[in-house]
Chains A and B, each alone.
Chain A
């Protein structure tokens, strides 16, 4: 990892209002003692029409408090508040930019000023009971913590002949050094450049990148080993030359998907076939049925805001994963199949939380676009001809790839911190470990339900 400075001035959370008229001309102006020399270094960003002072300011409030005429103010920056949407909030975008630039874990200062609990992943708290050891010893350079996962079908047992040789060829397995697969985001001003960046980042990270088959252009074939082409139902041609070059492909779920998978496996036995299952109410049963029928990797897909699809919009991705995982456990198939989850994975903590809920790994898309300084204005999604405010079309591929690598490095470091704080040595062991987490819904039921429960036979309380 190495630092990749942004091409565009990142929008700051707060902004300085400087009323320099009426200045008393003090001998020692507060602007001269700015610890970061923001007033001396300030400039005007011609591309974004912003004063660069806000990006430099560290919000120490020295100038605000020190000016005798009270001519300097700080205010929340409305341009920052307009970033993203209700799910990919300005805070998520800001923290993603920081991680993509530095590759470091964001530190927000002492204490936590946010809400105690929230929706979705925020209603799940991880167990950090072993935090004393990493605090004392430090995570890095101590005992090795593995974040590697295996993708593929695992045999439930092995059979040996009398000579001690395996009776059957074990199915192919792919080991990824981190439990994250990259995927092409659903938007982006220059998709072709974005794909090149994704593939380059996947190669550097040693992971894979999901991409629609029709989007795989000849220039990406050099990196075929890092690609997982996606095929919509009925669009798979067994003579497709790409099938002999890639290590895995993804088929969208449909009634004949198992027969298509079997046909593929007969022709390309080393190919790992993923099946994309929409995250709706039928998903847990469908996942179990596919696993029973021999599926190798199942990709459970939610919306980009981590909600269930179709009529399951009331369900969060974590609940979908939990249900699918428990169904597999119930059918004694959990260890046979790999479960990947996608949709709304926006922060490093979501990786660990999705795994705690039962996924083996996650698929990330929109944060990869954010790592390239995207503001999620969605102008490109409305009309491809709209100018991109971060000029994605002129982004150098290596530069973009390094920012993605930095982001994934920062996420992996946070996963290591979480695993270390839990006293775990392997991310594989974290899968489905709900005992390592507390769910707010469960706690509410456990603690408050008995307090407010009506005694049997009581229909109305006094005062009701």
Chain B
């Protein structure tokens, strides 16, 4: 079963999303990079719903909190990640399946290090246990 990773990338922190794709180099793990206007575009429900797809790891790359273009965006995202991780723990999933990295906008070595961190995390966690539980994320109709 192939591991899948979804990265939501703030466009200020990651001006060139292709950089992440070229740095990835891990053929057996499928990577999807989605550029966003700010990391705070991603809400907790989106993180959880992303994990309810075949994605095994969801990561958000944003700007350092004091450099956020929206002032509070990166800080708010940090709180959302903490909330989501706590929620995952409550439902019995590894909290590490959701994470974030903050970088200084335009810091290529920082981004390369973030990619290495995400890759290591994906390899360590492997496929989501939800995958072995049948069709992921499918809501069962309530029995009448």
Contacts and interface: CB of A to CB of B under 8 A. Distances in A.
Nearest to B42: A51
B76 interface: yes
Interface string B26-65: 0000001011111011010110011011010000000000
A21 B81 CA distance: 13
A121 B21 CA distance: 36
B45 A17 contact: no
A44 B137 CA distance: 12
A19 B72 contact: yes
Given A19-B40, A19-B72, A78-B11, A44 B35 contact: no
Interface stretch (A69-77, A334-342, A343-351, A415-423): A69-77
Interface in A64-110: 73, 75-79, 82
B47 to A, nearest CB: 10
Interface residues of B, number: 26
A73 B34 CA distance: 19
A56 to B, nearest CB: 16
Given A75-B37, A78-B36, A79-B35, A46 B43 contact: no
Q: 4 closest A-B pairs (Cβ-Cβ)?
A: A75-B37, A78-B35, A44-B49, A78-B11
A75 B38 contact: yes
Contacts of B23: none
Which among B36, B70, B72 has the highest number of chain A CB atoms within 10 Å? B36
Interface in A40-74: 44, 46, 49-51, 73
A49 B37 contact: no
Given A49-B6, A49-B53, A78 B37 contact: yes
A25 B53 CA distance: 32
Contacts of B40: 17, 19
B127 interface: no
A15 B37 contact: yes
B137 to A, nearest CB: 7
A21 B50 CA distance: 20
A17 B6 contact: no
Contacts, number: 51
Interface of B: 6, 11, 17, 32, 34-38, 40-41, 43, 45-46, 49-50, 52-53, 55, 70, 72-73, 76, 79-80, 137
Contact of A79 (B34, B38, B49): B34
A49 B50 contact: yes
Interface of A: 15, 17-21, 44, 46, 49-51, 73, 75-79, 82
B43 A18 contact: yes
21 contacts: A15-B37, A17-B37, A17-B40, A19-B40, A19-B73, A19-B76, A21-B79, A21-B80, A44-B45, A44-B46, A44-B49, A44-B50, A49-B34, A49-B55, A51-B43, A75-B38, A75-B41, A76-B37, A77-B37, A79-B35, A82-B17
Contact of B38 (A17, A20, A49, A51): A17
Contacts of A17: 37-38, 40-41, 70, 73
Given A18-B43, A77-B37, 16 more contacts: A17-B38, A17-B41, A17-B70, A19-B72, A20-B43, A21-B76, A21-B80, A49-B6, A49-B53, A49-B55, A51-B43, A51-B46, A76-B37, A78-B11, A78-B35, A78-B36
A77 B35 CA distance: 8
Contacts of B32: 49
A295 to B, nearest CB: 46
B35 A82 contact: yes
Contact of A73 (B6, B46, B70): B70
